[in-house]
Structure 1
Amino acid sequence: MRIPYVFLGALLAIVQSANAEVASPPVLAPLKQQAQAAQLSANFLARFSYRPVPLDDALSARIMNRFIKSLDPDRVLFLQADIDRFMSHRSEIDDAIEREDLRIPFEIFNLYERRVVDRMNYARNLLKQDFDFGAQEDYSALRDKAPWPQSESESNELWRKRAKSDWLRLKLGGKTDAAVRETLDKRYASALERAYKYKSDDVFQSFMDAYTASIDPHTDYFGATASADFDISMKLSLVGIGAVLQERDDYTTVREFVPGGPAQLSGKLSVGDRVTGVGQGRDGAIKDVMGTRLDEVVQMIRGKKGSVVRLDILPADAGADGTHRVVSLVRDKINLEKQAARKAVLSVKVGEATRKIGVITLPAFYEDFEARRKGDKDYRSASRDVAKILGELKQEKVDSVLIDVRNNGGGSLNEAIDLTGLFIGNGPVVQQRGSDGKVAVKSADFPAPVWTGPVGVLINRGSASASEIFAAAIQDYGRGVIVGEPSFGKGTVQTVVNLDQMVRNSKPEFGELKVTIAQFFRVNGGTTQLRGVTPDISLPGFADPTSFGEMSYDNALPWTQVEPANYAPTGNMMTLLPTLQSRHDARVQRDPDFQRILEDIADLKAQRQKGVVSLNEAERRKEATAREDRLKSRAQVSDAEDPGGDDGLQANERSLSADIAIENARKKAKDVLLDEAATILADEAVLQEGVLKAATKQSGNTDGK
């Protein structure tokens, strides 16, 4: 139970002594309410989690490991001596939380800031010299399991290779030495500046992320900002001006507009305009925001509906000393339509016939909980939007519907159930087992399906939670074909607990917990936990299952099963799958676009396994030439645009117009996997139509007899 004063003092001494000529970043300290929030969270998690984990020495050590990894995942900042010092106190975090004492994580973070400042200054100094790109040496790109540097000299050598690797990438991208120096100096300076902008809330959020992730992979803590962002993602709306902002060269820059938002409708702003000040109300003082963190500027611009915000704008085409103008905007409700369900209709030729496939892309299972709770009949939700789209697709007389939930990480459990109901009508959708071991069956309750025709679901490794519930139910009912990669494997249910409400606190201080309270099971009794949903027809993917997905977590729940629910399948896809599979196999063998994807995946896998990059210019140019030759050969047999080579730049280092052009090109790129999935759905429609005709004919013969 002792407070490790020696530990804290030693870290402070390191922070104050190393490179004293460089201004130290601010020393951050925990706030009282943060320590109270940590203790409240600990008490709740130890009692009410689906799998309660006591806050003891073992958990304390896991929290320490995760916290350090979150700060320095590539092991390029801390020294082995730092880690040894941290780990000598790894069993004290539990006692410190109980005492409402968060000095240990804050002192670790303060040293982290200091290490960032030191390493970034060292990297900037390296740019004053020339590198020998004729030497035969490598740089390890995968350092998450590498040993920590044993000394400052070893760390210096590591950073020499890192800077050399950054330089070589830019050089191979066509940059002159002068341009490389300027670009990297700005990059390292930007990382350096961030170390001076951290606040107490950042440290606490990082520490609580490490704590909650040590309980299970999907338990989270939300501070005020994270909580607001979560609410926005579920409601698909916020109150603001309707501008997407980006930090570029210390300026908060307008990247794009939300259609119909105040910013677009005003006609007073342009893409590339820079926000240099923000004022509240029609006559409030304008506060300078140059160099201010983007999230803080965003919070200043958001506000109550109908209120006025004034922006000091430096126009996109003006220099740093250009003439500013002040723009007044009235905040309004902004609907985030880009994150809502949307449709497209694809024409697919099967034999001599052309089939129309309605594609519904669903990025998340959103639901405006607050509006629903208030009884708003027009509240926004994923299933409501999809139901409306299905009605439109019926009017367009599509032959089949494909639900694209690739990279849909989940959301509302109720929405997953209701979405399933649109295709099965009524019946069990998912089973849920609580910490008491009791299993409850959750059912859809629609008088009839909204769509009765052929259906399919397109999934990938990023399809998780609610997406897996939906896909699994469609598969278990035999209602449609599942196409894509094996899904993420998240088979647990979370709920959000407001800590202030829990202790009847009158003002928001303590934040919220997203806590795992149950595990869900398919209606067939299995679970998607760990294994995910196995597609009926597999498509290739770029994700690395060892680093992305439930299997990549060291504390994931195991796969298990319960008794099947009482449900009646509405179809039998098993009879169609052999034909669908054989047609798919034959088609992709002769599809050059599909074969190119397989080549790219193989190349990426080889790079991952290699884990190192050569710092020899001749070798790298040889690799680049081989890639260019492959792209040229592709261009000769395909009308697809050449995406170009690696320019070595990060997103905010290109001009805004170039960055947007790359993004638009990606959006316009041919979606080979979606096209193949749609073709599989067209085959399904043809085969089901044949089955229906055969059944009708057989019924007619029987009646005639």
Structure 2
Amino acid sequence: MYFAEFRVKKRLIWALVAAVFAVPALSGESSAAQRLQPTVEQAQTAYLSAQLLGRYHYKTQPLDDALSEKIFDRYLKSLDPERLIFTQADIDGFADYRTRLDDAIQRGNLAIPFTIFQKFEQRTVERLTYAREQLRQGFEFEARESYTYMRDKAPWPKDDAEVRDLWRKRVKNDWLRLRLAGKDDKTIRETLEKRYDNFLVRATRNKSEDVFQIFMNAFAMSIEPHTSYLGRSASDDFDISMSLSLVGIGAVLQERDEYITIRELVAGGPAIRSGKLAVGDRIVGVGQAEGPLQDVVGTRVDEVVKLIRGGKDTRVVLDILPADAGPDGKHRQVVLVRDKIKLEEQAARKSIIKVGDGPALRRIGVITLPAFYEDFEGRRRGDKEYRSASRDVVRLVDELRKEKVDGLVVDLRNNGGGSLREAVELTGLFIDKGPVVQQRRPDGRIGVESDENAGVAWDGPMAVLINRGSASASEIFAAALQDYGRATIIGEQSFGKGTVQTMINLDEIAKNDKPKFGDLKMTVAQFFRVNGGTTQLKGVMPDIRFPSVADPDAYGESSYDNALPWTQIDSASFRPTGNLKDTITTLQTRHQARISKDKSFQALLEDVAEARRLRETRSISLNESERRREKESREARLKAREKTDGRDKLAALLKDDGLQSGERSLAADLAAEKARKDAKDILLDETARIVADDAELRLSRPQLALRDKLKTMPPAPAGTAIR
């Protein structure tokens, strides 16, 4: 995600507002369908969004019948991506709606998308009810049949008979997984009954704003993949993710059965400071400083979060059913004072990896950056302590330098982006003054975002680790350091997002006194590398490639059918700080020689090949003998691997037990999560070795190290000679 300044002429703003509030009110709602009916505010929001998208989007596209058809298809895909709910007969029944969604938006009548959703909910209940009925009879597993578990490219089931057969196979597969995990029939039936009952409950808890959010995103993303709508809750969550802070009690909550359960207590928050709450405690009621408690058993977790969050220094009352108490156990009430919570888990962090030993020991610093966050509001206020990725990273680099590291890795795996300004400022920590990224507006004008601060935070050996989940700001940063010859880029081909978005507060546009409309995230520009290329579609190609588990056809910019094309502009005027071509060739040779003997890396290659095979197969056998042989073969392969750094423990914890999220005990879930965090990171370790090789090469070529040092030094004062 990126953000740029966005201004709408005042005359046009007021024209839009007048048009929005001229939208006719919707007819009266029947009480039975009130839960899933559009509101007047939603109709106004859709209309206002359409006017903005039609005038100011980077890829202007008229809201007409052609776009209506795209919205229709994307909306159905959003609701039923695996084509397990609707039948072809249902789709045929919606045929008249295909070219009418543009009119629904323009005229302020959203009955059509809500009608489709109501049918979707009805069909979902029917499918889950049928699935539950299948549990009464049980299954035999001798027949030679298979279950297609990836149906995103399959045709719609032609009728109810075909869709019921698909669900029979799905339930049979659920049963077989539990059977292979050693569960008896009674336990299997109880587990699956509970699972499908929970699905049924969730299927009927949708609200009007949920339907509107899904439909608006189908509309926005039909224009371009990175344009979207954020309702008030989504907008609040976005602000939290960028500022890394919120006002609340400091507890991570999770739905488990009908209860909202405390999964984690955040360090320093009111919840953990009180000493009255523990992981596993269940919140059964929430009250404010004044007023009665509100029962929240069976309530969605997002609704409970809304009740718990509030203003700083205000009180919230929790009715708690302790973790070790039964359903009829004694409750206790806990009063907490809300406070600002810092989300340190999502902030930049550092570590050191030691490579080699004795005189050859190299200490490689690692900075893991989950996102390019920036507290926009804090910066606007002039808060000296406002939080940002670049400010955190420069502090961590300074700490690592004092710890005498020999090289640096910036780990951007699964970093989906964030603030454009932070991408520029972070790049500036590792290059001297110069352009970082170019932007092209819809009118063709090109601007350049540059680092204006002389000097660097780190001038030693450096690598940037990326994968398919590295997008946006991550790609700006990696591409700039690659173009400047400043760092070796290691990993997978990145996501391929080369567009700039801005956040538009629709309530500000409409001059609303209270929040009603939410925000629109709209693409307003395309960014280009300083060398004139773009990361759009192609992403950043690493200098040294690692094996990729991700499916490029299903994940990444190239997976979107309406992504902007790749293009090129003129290069910006910049001066590379080095030429890593020869160094990378040597590093690649050493890397290949090393991994050919590394059992852990070879095991990873096996896992990647297996994942690719399963992805291409898209189906799985429902014959017990075949599945058991596959399971035994997989377990034998894991057992044969060298047991190092907890990999055997992780494999045991992640072994397929047939259960889904929330079905294991909380202790088991937390143990598996910890095992994942503690597991050996093969790719990061190898990246550290590559940087250690780079450090060694620089020591063996002092003239190279001196040349790079001189390139990053500020200009000498007049009359000063460098010797």
Into which bin does the TM-score normalised by the smaller protein fall? over 0.9
Q: Residue 665 of structure 2 corresponds to which residue in structure 1?
A: 655
Is contact 2:645-2:679 (8 Å) kept? no
- Rounded Cα–Cα distance in structure 1 between residues aligned with 2:398 and 2:705: 27
Q: How big is the shift at 1:691?
A: 2.5
Residue aligning to 1:150: 158
User: What CA distance in whole angstroms lies between the structure 2 residues aligned with 1:689 and 1:231?
Assistant: 45
> Do 2:595 and 2:601's aligned partners in 1 also have CA atoms closer than 8 Å?
yes
Q: 1:612 aligns with which of 610, 613, 619?
A: 619
Q: State the partner residue of 1:475.
A: 482
Task: Return the alpha-carbon distance in structure 2 between the equivalents of residues 568 and 447 of structure 1.
Answer: 14
Please say if 1:265 is aligned against 2:273.
yes
Equivalent residues of 1:25, 1:113 under 8 A apart: no
Question: SS state of the match for residue 576, structure 1?
Answer: helix
Q: Give the 3-state SS of the residue equivalent to 2:94 in structure 1.
A: helix
Determine if the alignment matches structure 1 residue 465 to structure 2 residue 472: yes
**Offset at residue 352 of structure 1 (A):** 4.7
| Residue 680 (structure 1) aligned with residue 690 (structure 2) | yes
Shift of 1:447: 2.2
2 CA distance for matches of 1:135 and 1:696? Answer: 71
Find the residue that maps to 2:436 and give its secondary structure: strand
Which of 588, 607, 629 aligns to 2:595? It is 588
Q: How does 1:193-342 map to 2 (within 5 A)?
A: 193-281=201-289, 283-342=290-349
With normalisation by structure 1, the TM-score equals 0.94
CA distance in 2, matches of 1:114, 1:674: 47
Rounded to whole Å, the distance in 1 between the matches of 2:511 and 2:533 is 40
Structure 2 contact 85–127 (Cα < 8 Å) conserved: yes
CA offsets, 1:630-660, max 9 Å, x none?
0110146786324122111112000000010
Note closer, same or farther for the CA distance 1:25–1:623 as it changes in structure 2 (3 Å cut): farther
| Greater displacement, 464-473 / 423-432 | 423-432
1:460/1:487 contact within 8 Å kept: yes
Deviation at 1:476, TM superposition (A): 0.4
Deviation at 1:508, TM superposition (A): 1.2
Q: Would the aligned equivalents of 2:366 and 2:411 in 1 still touch at CA under 8 Å?
A: yes
Deviations 1:322-355, CA, capped at 9 Å, x for gaps: 0000000110000000000000011111895111
Q: What is the total number of aligned residue pairs between the two structures?
A: 677
Query: Aligned residue for 1:7?
Result: none
Say yes or no: does 1:446 pair with 2:453.
yes
What is aligned with 1:20?
Answer: none
Alignment of 1:318-397 (within 5 A): 318-349=325-356, 352-397=359-404
Q: Which amino acid aligns with 2:542?
A: P
Structure 2: stretches of 5+ with no match in the other structure? 1-28, 710-720
Superposition pairs of residues 543-582 of structure 1, within 5 angstroms: 543-582=550-589
Deviation at 1:188, TM superposition (A): 0.7
* 2:442 corresponds to: 435
> What per-residue deviation string (whole Å, max 9, x for no partner) do you get for residues 337-396 of structure 1?
000000001111189511110000000000000011111122100000000001101110
Greater shift, 615-624 or 445-454, is seen at 445-454
String of CA shifts for 1:24-72, please: whole Å, max 9, x gaps.
Answer: 9875110000011000001100110001111000100000101111111
CA deviation vs aligned residue, 1:552-584 (integer Å, no higher than 9, x gap): 000001111100000000111112011100000
Once the two structures are overlaid, the 10-residue window that deviates more, 114-123 or 483-492, is 114-123
Q: Structure 1 residue 399 and structure 2 residue 429: aligned?
A: no
Please give the alpha-carbon distance, in whole angstroms, between the structure 2 residues aligned to 1:692 and 1:39. 65
- Name the amino acid aligned to 1:625: E
Match for residue 679 of structure 2 among 669, 676, 681? 669
Paired with 1:278 and 1:180, the residues of 2 have a C-alpha distance of: 35
Q: In 2 relative to 1, CA 423–467 (structure 1 residues): closer, same or farther, beyond 3 Å? A: same
The range that moved more, 681-690 or 578-587, is: 681-690
| Equivalent of residue 167 in structure 1, options 152, 155, 175 | 175
Query: Counterpart of 2:11?
Result: none
Q: What's the RMSD between the two structures over aligned residues?
A: 1.7
Query: Are positions 1:135 and 2:143 aligned together?
Result: yes
Q: Which amino acid aligns with 2:224?
A: D
Quote the residue 1:122 is aligned against. Answer: 130
Determine if contact 2:698/2:705 at 8 Å carries over to the other structure: no
Equivalent pair of 1:425/1:450 in contact (CA under 8 Å): no
SS class of match (2:662): helix
Q: 1:115-165 CA distances to partner (integer Å, 9 max, x unpaired)?
A: 111111111111001201111111111111212222222221111111001
Q: What SS does the aligned partner of 1:327 have?
A: strand
Q: SS of the residue aligned with 1:533?
A: coil
Query: Structure 1 694/475 Cα, relative in aligned 2: closer, same or farther at 3 Å?
Result: closer
Q: 1:113 — aligned with what?
A: 121
Unaligned runs of 5+ in 1: 1-11, 17-23
Q: Give the equivalent residue in structure 2 for 1:21.
A: none
Moved more, 607-616 or 682-691: 682-691
Aligned position for 1:5: none
Q: How does 1:534-545 map to 2 (within 5 A)?
A: 534-545=541-552
Amino acid in the other structure paired with 2:363: K
Structure 1 position 174, deviation (Å): 1.5
Q: Which range moves more in the overlay, 634-643 or 75-84? A: 634-643
Equivalent position amino acid for 1:387 in 2: V
> What is the SS of the residue equivalent to 1:641?
helix
Counterpart Cα distance in 2 of 1:549 and 1:496: 22
Deviation at 1:694? Answer: 6.6
AA aligned opposite 2:273: L
Q: Is the 8 A contact 2:280 2:323 kept in 1?
A: yes
Structure 1 residue aligned with 2:52: 44
Change (3 A) 1:475 1:515: same
1:307–1:649 CA distance, 2 compared to 1 (3 A): same
Match of 1:691 among 701, 704, 707: 701
Secondary structure of the residue aligned to 1:601 is helix
Aligned with 2:538 (options 531, 534, 541): 531
CA distance in structure 2 between the partners assigned to 1:656 and 1:462 by the alignment? 28
Q: Percent identity?
A: 60
How far apart in 1 are the matches of 2:319 and 2:676? Answer: 33
- The separation in 2 between residues aligned to 1:429 and 1:67, in whole angstroms, is 38
CA separation of 1:637 and 1:361: change in aligned 2, threshold 3 A: closer
Determine which of 638, 642, 656 is the counterpart of 1:646.
Answer: 656
- Given that 1:404 and 1:459 are in contact with CA atoms closer than 8 Å, whether structure 2 keeps it comes out as yes
Provide the secondary structure at the position in 2 that maps to 1:285. coil
Whether contact under 8 Å (1:25, 1:195) holds in the other structure is: no
Secondary structure of 1:424's partner? coil
| Residue in 2 that maps onto 1:599 | 606
Q: Which residue of 2 aligns with 1:6?
A: none
Is 2:426 the counterpart of 1:416? no
Displacement after TM superposition at 1:693 (Å): 4.5
Aligned to 1:502: 509
The reply on whether 1:184 has 2:184 as its aligned counterpart is no
